[in-house]
Each structure stands twice: as C-alpha cells, then as structure tokens.
C-alpha cells in the first residue's frame, strides 16, 4: 500500500512539472533577475540628510503629501499616475543617482497628521498607488510634464502662455466651473502698504508679472515672497493698507485636484480625469518606456 501511494505521488509530481519541463526544453530556462522597476531604491533628501527608500515608499509618501486623502478614489489614482510620471521622468533624465528633494510624508508624519485615521488613510493612498501600478503619462516617447494645483480660478492655464514654449501642447485651458463653488475659492490677505501693481496677466486671468517698487517679479516669486494661496490675485490699495484677494489655490496649471475629485463623484474614472486635463497624452506602462 505504501509503495503504491508513493508511486502515485511520483506520477502526480511528474504531471505537475511536465509543462514546466517542456517549456524549458523548448525555450531555455527563465532566470528571474532583480531588474524589476518596482525594486528601485532611491535617494531622498529629508531634514537636510540623504536617506534611501524604496521607490514605492517614497512615492506613496509623496502622494499622501500632495493631495487630500479625503478626495475621491479616482482622483487619488489620477494623482498617483502624476506622481509616478514625475518621478520616472526625473530618473530617466538624470539617471539612477538622482536625489529627490520634493516634499513627501514619512510614516511618522502620516501618523502625526492622520492620528487615529492613519491605517484607514494609508490603505486608501496605497490602494490608489497599487491600482495604477506601472502607469505613467506619455507624450511622444517621454514622460509628460504633469503639473497640478489644488484649485483653479475656474479654468486651468495655457501651457504656452505660462511656460513660453510649444513643448507642452497638452497643457490647455480647461474649464473647471465646479472649482468656483469651493469654500477655498476666494481668500483675502491684508498687508502694510507698498508700491506694487500687477503688470501682466494671462488669458485665464492669472498674474504673470508684478512690479514692486522698481523691481519686476514673476507672479510665482511674488506669491512665494508674500505667502499667497494662488497666482490669480488682485492688489487693492486702501486706507494705508494693501489688500490682496486671491482666487483658487496654486499656480493653476495642469490638473485641478478639486475638479478631479468632483469628476470622480460624478462617475468619472482616473483615465477620464487624465484625458481631460492632459489631452493628447497616453497612459502607458513605465516598463515599456524604461526598455526604450
């Protein structure tokens, strides 16, 4: 009885291994290597020091930092594709020795920010990352330039106007009427009076240049210098004060995260969102781009 069972076991093993043996005979052995793009270790600057993290850990932290976790899943997935596109674009341009300095949340920061919701929020962010695994936005043969903002003034901006280049024809003015409904749409800041005026705006209503005294500044420089929410603003002089009224949150170029989340509420997929804001780009597997 024992030998009969042993013989039957041997037959079963042969039957299970037979397809594998035939495959090796026909095609040669398949050797797994460590070239999986998801095994990449990257250098990241944190608190003035260079540390090493897995690509996934860094990108999940970057995703958590860049978009509110309360936004809808499809919006998070769209942002995940933008994160991956940006990171791999930098790697392909600068090589594997790239040190990333963009803001990201470490596990400790996520726990501090989310408190008791840490596990739930982390799973939500990681799910968005995993469900878009390997996907990047491509224009031509390269990762696209994929800027984003939290909230526009009602429309996104034209890439050629903002960047002064024809390289980004997929960055077009896109209507975002739902952004106007946001509670964050209009913010007001009052400062001490100074000699300042807006000297140039673009077709979407965003400021391009500002004169401060005898100095000309870009809107982004002015926004950073005076800690403004948006590059869409007006300057109002009254009663010895300067009142700055901003519309939207961010620079207004590329994807509006707020509209992306509202599109998701209405049944839009992350592909729909990306096709709307980056018309003319394609979603492709990063492995195919790396091979090329």
* Rounded Cα distance, 90 and 94, in Å: 6
Q: What is the pLDDT of residue 33?
A: 29
Report d(CA 218, CA 222) in Å as an integer. 6
How many residues make up the chain in this entry? Answer: 292
Using DSSP's 3-state secondary structure scheme, residue 90 falls into helix
Q: How far, rounded to the nearest angstrom, does the alpha carbon of residue 191 sit from its chain's CA centroid?
A: 33
**Do residues 257 and 273 lie in contact, with contact meaning Cβ atoms separated by under 8 Å?**
no
Distance CA 73, CA 124 (A): 8
Per the CB < 8 A criterion, the answer to whether 203 and 173 are in contact is yes
Please give the chain's pLDDT, 292 residues, in tens.
Answer: 434 434 444 444 333 333 333 333 333 333 232 344 556 788 888 877 888 989 999 999 999 999 999 999 999 999 999 999 999 998 888 776 788 888 899 999 999 999 999 999 999 999 999 999 999 999 998 999 999 999 999 999 999 999 999 999 999 999 999 999 999 999 999 999 999 999 999 999 999 999 999 999 999 999 999 999 999 999 999 999 999 999 999 999 999 999 999 999 999 999 999 999 999 999 999 887 766 5
The Cα 244–Cα 236 span in angstroms is 6
Look up tokens 């170029």; give the residue.
253
Alpha helices in the chain (DSSP H): 2-27, 55-66, 73-94, 107-114, 118-131, 159-163, 219-225, 257-265, 270-277, 286-291
Nearest to 226 by CA among 186, 187, 191: 191
Whole-number pLDDT of residue 5:
38
Q: Spell out the residues 6+ positions from residue 81 whose beta carbon is closer than 8 angstroms to its own.
A: 132, 135, 136, 137, 270, 274, 283
CA distances from 248 to 82, 188, 251 (A): 20, 11, 8
Q: How far apart are CA 262 and CA 176, in angstroms?
A: 10
Q: Hey, is 286 helix, strand or coil?
A: helix
193: left (phi over 0), alpha (psi -120 to 50) or beta: beta
């Amino acid at each position: 009885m024992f030998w009969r069972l042993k013989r039957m076991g041997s037959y079963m093993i042969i039957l299970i291994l037979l397809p594998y043996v035939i495959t090796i005979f026909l095609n040669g052995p398949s050797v797994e290597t460590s070239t999986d793009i998801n095994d990449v270790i990257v250098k990241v600057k944190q608190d003035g020091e260079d540390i090493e993290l897995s690509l996934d850990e860094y990108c999940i932290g970057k995703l958590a930092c860049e978009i509110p976790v309360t936004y809808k899943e499809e919006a998070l997935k769209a942002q995940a594709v933008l994160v991956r596109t940006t990171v791999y674009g930098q790697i392909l341009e600068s090589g594997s020795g790239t040190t990333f300095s963009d803001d990201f949340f470490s596990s400790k920061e996520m726990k501090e920010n989310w408190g008791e919701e840490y596990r739930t929020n982390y799973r939500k962010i990681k799910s968005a990352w995993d469900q878009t695994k390997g996907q990047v936005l491509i224009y031509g043969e390269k990762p696209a330039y994929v800027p984003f903002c939290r909230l526009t003034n009602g429309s996104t901006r034209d890439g050629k106007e903002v960047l002064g280049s024809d390289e980004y024809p997929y960055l077009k003015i896109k209507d975002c009427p739902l952004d106007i409904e946001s509670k964050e749409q209009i913010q007001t800041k009052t400062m001490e009076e100074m000699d300042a005026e807006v000297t140039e705006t673009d077709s979407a209503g965003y400021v391009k240049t500002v004169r401060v005294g005898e100095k000309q500044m870009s809107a982004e420089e002015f926004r950073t210098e005076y800690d403004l929410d948006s590059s869409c603003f007006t300057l109002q002089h009254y009663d010895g004060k300067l009142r700055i009224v901003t519309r939207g949150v961010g620079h207004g170029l590329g994807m509006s995260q707020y509209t992306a989340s509202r599109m998701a509420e209405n049944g839009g997929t992350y592909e729909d969102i990306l096709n709307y804001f980056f018309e003319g780009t394609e979603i492709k597997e990063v492995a195919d781009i790396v091979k090329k």
